[in-house]
Chains A and B, each alone.
Chain A
Amino acid sequence: MRTDFARLDLRLRRRGSWAYSLGIGAYALLIVVLYPAFKHDTSLDQLMRGNPTMAALFGISGSLTSPAGWLNANLYANVVPLFALLVTIGYGAAAVAGDNGDERLGLLAALPVSRHALLAQKLLALGVLSLPVAVATLAADVVGRFYQLRPSWQGLVGVTAGVALTAMVFGCLALATGCLTNSRGIAIGVSSAVAAASYVINSLSGSVVWVHHLRLLSPLYWAVGQNQVENGLPVSSLIALIATAAVLSGIAFWAFDRLDLR
């Protein structure tokens, strides 16, 4: 399979990807290095128990001072997915709608490549861009093993896969919305709104009964909302995230085929 188009897009986003990866890597490193200082701080857990709904709003549930709880509360329940989604929603919205708005897509679509192949390469680039934030955080987690932070490998790999897949899902949402509307702004807006709703649903699903029933609609629940740092990524989550990405990709293919290009 030719990958020239995917490599072009990755080349154009090289600096941004590095910046996001280094940024989240540095932040994650700071979090893991700080862990020994908080490991025996029981006041944090008491604070949690005192107001679990407020804690849930910040994505915190369970013990804050266990290795898995510390990583969940400070990384995987909020900041890491946010960074990963910034990268993929940004790319998903720019890959078709943005490039078309800038009148750059026509030059590429006029080359001897089918629209399906062109979009497949955009999806390939999206897949690659889903990885750096999750992998940079995993690298910091590995360093954390020298700082008494030793969750299971299965958990770390599982939550890394969960973050990457949920980033892919939201990137596909932005891509599909961009193909349907031909507007980068709408693609970013819709995807960000869905991501925010998904975050709130996942965060409050353990505290508010009616929100609990909605949790299955949240990609973040499937990716990081089931204590994946400790338990790894369930097969059901894997299937749900892959299926959602596949459906959204299908919509993107359908819409891209009908899109007027400039």
Chain B
Amino acid sequence: MEAGQGPSSTTAVALEALTKRFGRRRGIEGVSLEVRAGEVLGFLGPNGAGKSTTIRLVMGLLLPTSGSVRVFGSDPRHDVSVRRRIGYLPGELALYPSLSGAELIGRVARMRGGVESRRVDQLVERLRVELDRPIRALSKGNRQKVGLVLAFMHQPDLLVLDEPSSGLDPLLQEEFEGMVRERVRDGATVFLSSHDLDEVDRVVDRVAIIRRGRLVGVDTLDQLRQRAPRLVEVRFAEPIDPTRILALPGVRALDANATELRLEVTGPLGELLQTVQPLGVADLTARPASLDAIFRSFYEDTPRGEEIHAY
């Protein structure tokens, strides 16, 4: 779907000019975003950028200051039936410390209704959830496993997960990623926030990046990589004058001396190669930006990443 078009039937979540302020404190400002049905959208941003606020708005827990939230075409704040289709894992997972995992899962399953006990058993076994100990006695990772069971147990059409793998060990993280892929294979949509870029790389189809309450980028990881600056190192056989090279569009010097240049290059490399080739290149390496570097460029106060909106 192209930018500027309205939500379609293939849209799971549609945020339109969504703003939330907490008195004088900033929440989010004018966020417009669509999560397509069947995709995994990673929602990224530095701490305090507004990820959890956006997620709570999607869940209907916060009253928007302005703008709208639609989930499967309905307002999740007022439409109870649409919440039946959502599995939610909050970022700050606070459970009832005196209850055991088994009691909490059982009670929430009854509150939700329509949860198959067989499905719960499968999840418990898969995540190796400690059911019998009180929640207060569980480690963060084990509490997170209980939260994941609560989010996945009713096989929701939309999973809204706020830092879902926080506290999980690598094996369980892998298991969680498998669970996400299975739900997506069954047609579900996933909207997840994460600080784990490797996980994002493995799981998501597109990413949306929020910074200081505003959406600064939405695109696929491949597109982001292509648009991201590359690191180019050139060594010359003889000392050169780099003026022409540094004047090329999209080229920025990270380090330069008479025979070596370290450059950050945004866009195609053709013009750079044509310019350096007659100068006697002894060696040249070009590396794509790491995912970490791409996101840093969005997170920094003066982001080098251009604003990209392809929703």
Contact = CB atoms under 8 A, between A and B. Distances in A.
The finding on whether chains A and B are genuine partners in a shared complex, rather than unrelated, reads yes
Interface in A108-127: 108-114
A109 B80 CA distance: 10
Given A106-B59, A107-B88, A260-B63, A4 B95 contact: no
Nearest to B22: A260
B153 to A, nearest CB: 12
A106 B108 CA distance: 13
A82 to B, nearest CB: 26
B61 A110 contact: yes
B110 interface: yes
Interface of B is mostly: loop
Interface string B50-80: 0000001001111100000000000000101
Contacts, number: 67
Interface in B93-113: 93-96, 98-99, 107-108, 110-113
A262 B61 contact: yes
A261 interface: yes
Nearest to A8: B107
B83 A111 contact: yes
Contacts of A262: 56, 61, 90, 92
A5 B98 CA distance: 16
A104 interface: yes
A139 B187 CA distance: 59
Contacts of A41: none
Given A106-B59, A106-B61, A262-B56, A112 B94 contact: no
Contact of B111 (A102, A104, A108): A108
A111 B59 contact: no
A102 B94 contact: yes
B225 to A, nearest CB: 35
Given A12-B98, A258-B63, A262-B56, A111 B108 contact: yes
Contact of A261 (B56, B84, B110, B150): B56
B188 interface: no
Contacts of A8: 96, 107, 111
Interface residues of A, number: 23
Contacts of A4: 107, 110-111
B81 interface: yes
A125 B196 CA distance: 41
Contact of B84 (A12, A109, A112, A258): A112
B86 interface: yes
A198 to B, nearest CB: 33
Contacts of A103: 90, 92, 94
B66 to A, nearest CB: 15
Interface residues of B, number: 29
Interface string B2-27: 00000000000000000000100000
B192 to A, nearest CB: 15
Interface in A199-229: none
Interface in A25-75: none
Interface in B24-46: none
A237 B30 CA distance: 53
B150 A113 contact: no
Contact of A107 (B86, B98, B113, B150): B150
B62 A111 contact: no
A251 to B, nearest CB: 17
Contacts of A2: 111
B7 to A, nearest CB: 22
A112 B81 contact: yes
B63 A107 contact: no
B98 A112 contact: no
Indicate the member of B61, B83, B95 with the most A CB atoms within 10 Å. B61
A261 B108 contact: no
Residue from A2, A7, A258, A262 with most neighbouring chain B CB atoms (10 Å) = A262
A75 to B, nearest CB: 32
B59 A110 contact: yes
A106 B110 CA distance: 17
A11 B107 CA distance: 11
20 contacts: A2-B111, A4-B107, A8-B96, A8-B107, A103-B92, A103-B94, A104-B94, A106-B90, A107-B88, A107-B90, A107-B94, A107-B150, A109-B60, A110-B86, A112-B80, A114-B78, A260-B22, A261-B56, A261-B61, A262-B90
Interface of B: 22, 56, 59-63, 78, 80-81, 83-84, 86, 88, 90, 92-96, 98-99, 107-108, 110-113, 150
Given A111-B83, A262-B90, 18 more contacts: A4-B110, A4-B111, A5-B111, A7-B107, A8-B111, A104-B94, A109-B60, A109-B61, A111-B112, A112-B80, A112-B83, A114-B80, A258-B63, A260-B61, A260-B62, A260-B63, A261-B62, A262-B92
Interface of A: 2, 4-5, 7-8, 11-12, 102-104, 106-114, 258, 260-262
